[in-house]
Structure 1
Amino acid sequence: MDEGNSSQKVEVESAYEVLISFEFVFILHFVNETMGITDKLCQALQNQSQDILDAMHLVSSTKKLIQQFRDEKWDDLLATVISFCKEHGLDFPDMNARYVARFGRSRHQQEDFRNEHYYKVDIFNAGIDYQLQELNHRFSEHVMELLTLSSALDPREAYESFRVSDICSLVDNFYPIDFTDDEKNDLKKELDLYKYDVVQHLGFKNLKNISELCQCMVRIRKSEYYLLIYRVIKLVLTLPVSTATIERAFSTMNVIKTDLCNKMEDEFLSNAMMLFIERDIAAIISMDSIIDDFENLKRRRVPFS
């Protein structure tokens, strides 16, 4: 056997040892369980039309389930992993024995450091705490307050209990520069009338989300009478609950700004990214209309047509 094949054989054997190790099996089962809890939330947040109220409830529910998994499911997870190892003839350690790292150097030097402590504290608890930390970072108390106050406009909630104070707080706390002091006072008066006029409208109780409420107000011409409330609704509809657009922007940047095109200015890059991200819309714009618009920007020495 030549040196190249021998080296590959050593790498394969090393990889195989890792794959059949208890630590690897434990981590796979742990990731499978945690991803099962967060999967619905991840899918929902990728939806560009995600409803605010649904997102708020889904985030809260996911946090509770993850915390419950941390507090109550350690024994069940460990039993499942050990059962898997027995079924497939894999070795598993004594949880009360002193921990010895099989791969790499151990960070722990204590004589009484047990296997259970390593798997429960360093992997199980640490992994869940990191996920909770990320959720709390992305959906902080400030963000949750914004979503909670915004839910006061949701027709499913408002039909049972319309909260004028929450909508006023929403404007005061999150949209102070979008409304003058006089408009804030007028908004309170609009809301008092809106509570009995629009909320009690026959078609209101059949609405499913804020987007449908906005369309309904236009359809029944209430947007013309409740201009300030309609403005609040439009502002709430622009809340970035979904991260899909941001992620597509970063992916697009890698496609457009290559090694050959790495010196383009910010404005040109932004325009190119917009065309790439919204290419479905750009596809319906005719080339002739683009040429006409470009020609009309200013007078040119050579006419285009």
Structure 2
Amino acid sequence: MPYMSAPYKKGIRACKQNIINEHYYRINILNAVIDFQLAELDSRFTDDSLEILVLSATFDPRDNFRSFKYEDVKNLALRFYPQDFTSYDMLVLDMECGFFLTDIQRDPRFANTTTVSDLCRRLVQSRKSAFFPMIYRLICLVLTLPVSTATTERAFSSINIIKNKL
């Protein structure tokens, strides 16, 4: 292992940039590896796939639903599930969003919810799925996301990086 405080040498000669080994390995090599991994992930997912993943993250229950945004819920339904929601359903969804967050945050049964599938399960157990049917429908559609967006074997295997086995 090279001495990390020593000047970096490219081959036999000292590097013209006057950097130490630690800088070279931590900055130059690490950035190259991160760029390579980002390019690989970028090539695996289309822009639509990335957008649906970002919008569906609004249902992430961690940190007391910190990432929940009304706009993302409405955009998710409008952009990716227009056949599943009529204009009346969108009005109902808009009203449900106003009450959903405060109701779920105050209910102690949802305090330790960590995954979207756990959220869906607790909505059914607490019978809140009847009070928020449009949000429940949208969560169910999001949970089928790995099946519906995986058109190739490569995309299906790479989606497991984003979502866990549950």
> Would the TM-score normalized by the shorter structure come out above 0.5?
yes
Alignment check: 8 A CA contact 1:159 1:205 kept: no
Instruction: Give the 3 Å change call, closer, same or farther, for CA 243–180 of structure 1 in structure 2.
Output: closer
Instruction: Find the residue that maps to 2:146 and give its secondary structure.
Output: coil
Query: Who is 2:14 aligned against?
Result: none
Aligned-residue offset at 1:147: 1.1
Identity of aligned residues (%): 40
Q: Hey, what's the Cα distance between the residues in 1 that align with 2:149 and 2:100?
A: 33
Aligned-residue offset at 1:198: 2.0
Query: Who is 1:72 aligned against?
Result: 28
Of 82, 99, 105, the residue aligned with 1:176 is 82
Aligned-residue offset at 1:197: 1.3
Q: Which runs of 4+ in 1 moved over 3 A?
A: 131-134, 241-247
Query: Who is 1:113 aligned against?
Result: none
Instruction: Find the residue that maps to 1:221 and give its secondary structure.
Output: coil
Q: Does 1:197 align with 2:103?
A: yes
Query: Who is 2:124 aligned against?
Result: 218
Instruction: Give the 3 Å change call, closer, same or farther, for CA 142–216 of structure 1 in structure 2.
Output: same
Q: Which has the larger radius of gyration?
A: 1
Instruction: Give the 3 Å change call, closer, same or farther, for CA 243–181 of structure 1 in structure 2.
Output: closer
Amino acid corresponding to residue 73 of structure 1 in structure 2: I
Query: Who is 1:185 aligned against?
Result: 91
CA deviation string 1:211-255 (max 9, x = no partner): 0001001100011121111100000000117999964xxxxxxxx
Q: Hey, what's the Cα distance between the residues in 1 that align with 2:92 and 2:135?
A: 10
Q: Hey, what's the Cα distance between the residues in 2 that align with 1:174 and 1:200?
A: 30
Q: Hey, what's the Cα distance between the residues in 2 that align with 1:192 and 1:136?
A: 35
Alignment check: 8 A CA contact 2:55 2:72 kept: yes
Instruction: Find the residue that maps to 1:228 and give its secondary structure.
Output: helix
Instruction: Find the residue that maps to 2:145 and give its secondary structure.
Output: coil
Alignment check: 8 A CA contact 2:74 2:94 kept: yes
Query: Between Structure 1 and Structure 2, how many residues are aligned?
Result: 126
Query: Who is 1:163 aligned against?
Result: 69
Instruction: Give the 3 Å change call, closer, same or farther, for CA 161–204 of structure 1 in structure 2.
Output: same
Q: Which runs of 5+ in 1 are unaligned?
A: 1-68, 75-123, 248-305
Q: Hey, what's the Cα distance between the residues in 2 that align with 1:243 and 1:174?
A: 11
Alignment check: 8 A CA contact 2:49 2:149 kept: no
Aligned-residue offset at 1:161: 4.8
RMSD of aligned C-alpha atoms?
3.1
Aligned-residue offset at 1:199: 3.1
Query: Who is 2:60 aligned against?
Result: 154
Instruction: Find the residue that maps to 1:171 and give its secondary structure.
Output: helix
Higher helix share goes to which structure?
A: 1
Instruction: Give the 3 Å change call, closer, same or farther, for CA 158–187 of structure 1 in structure 2.
Output: farther
Alignment check: 8 A CA contact 1:190 1:226 kept: yes
Query: Who is 2:139 aligned against?
Result: 233
Q: Hey, what's the Cα distance between the residues in 1 that align with 2:138 and 2:48?
A: 18
Alignment check: 8 A CA contact 1:156 1:205 kept: no
TM superposition score normalised by structure 1? 0.37
Instruction: Find the residue that maps to 1:178 and give its secondary structure.
Output: coil
TM superposition score normalised by structure 2? 0.64
